[in-house]
């Protein structure tokens, strides 16, 4: 029950690995529920879409807020991350004419390209911030460091530079010289 509660809770911190697992699981569940299952289910079962969607949005916002807490950001930024993601889906659907049956004139395409550049920059920042950068060392205003099992005072300061992904440093330090 502890892991399920951590998916629903907005308090505390989550490091990169559990966040990545949760986001990949949400993506796989979304694909299964909205791409594969509708072709095989009777229409009366599609009424379950709304409650499942609400739960998936809640889990996405909660895990993102806790990951932002690990980076020492306010959890309210999870709403901005969610909005940028949804705007990206909407934009690419319109620009690539994948949905809505919208016919976009050439004059509007320049505006859409500028929106695409802005959304791509924001998406790139979000991916780097949430998936690659390590969390705040030691406890912060949102709770204890999720990667520490002993108090930081007993371990000493981290040897790696701030902002370099831990997995790159561990590979570099374990390589024979």
The C-alpha angle with vertex 55 and arms to 54 and 57, in degrees rounded to 5, equals 65
Residues 59, 64, 66, 68, Cα dihedral to 10°: -170
Structural contact between residues 155 and 148, judged by C-beta atoms closer than 8 angstroms? yes
User: What are the residue ranges in the chain where pLDDT is below 70?
Assistant: 1, 92-110, 149-177
Task: Sketch the domain layout of the chain as residue ranges.
Answer: 2-136+153-174
What is residue 64's predicted lDDT score, i.e. its pLDDT? 95
Structural contact between residues 77 and 68, judged by C-beta atoms closer than 8 angstroms? yes
Cα distance between residue 61 and residue 141, in whole Å = 19
Q: Which residues of 75-110 are buried (b: 16+ CB within 10 A; e: fewer)?
A: bebbeebeeebeebeebeebbeeeeeeeeeeeeeee
Comparing CA positions, the residue from 93, 167, 164 lying closest to residue 128 is 164
**Predicted TM-score (pTM) of this structure:** 0.67
What is residue 70's predicted lDDT score, i.e. its pLDDT? 93
């Amino acid at each position: 029950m502890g892991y399920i509660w951590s998916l629903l809770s907005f308090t505390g911190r989550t490091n990169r690995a559990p966040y990545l697992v949760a986001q990949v699981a949400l993506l796989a569940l979304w694909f299964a529920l909205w791409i594969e299952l509708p072709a095989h289910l009777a229409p009366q079962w599609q009424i379950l879409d709304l409650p499942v969607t609400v739960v998936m949005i809640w889990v996405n916002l909660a895990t993102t807020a806790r990951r932002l807490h690990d980076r020492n950001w306010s959890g309210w930024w999870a709403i901005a991350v969610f909005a940028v993601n949804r705007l990206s889906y909407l934009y690419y659907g319109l620009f690539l004419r994948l949905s809505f049956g919208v016919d976009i004139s050439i004059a509007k395409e320049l505006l859409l390209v500028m929106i695409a550049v802005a959304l791509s920059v924001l998406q790139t920042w979000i991916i780097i911030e949430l998936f690659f950068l390590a969390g705040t060392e030691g406890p912060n205003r949102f709770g204890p460091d999720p990667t520490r099992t002993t108090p930081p005072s007993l371990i000493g300061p981290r040897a790696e530079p701030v902002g370099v992904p831990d997995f790159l440093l561990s590979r570099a330090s374990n390589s024979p010289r």
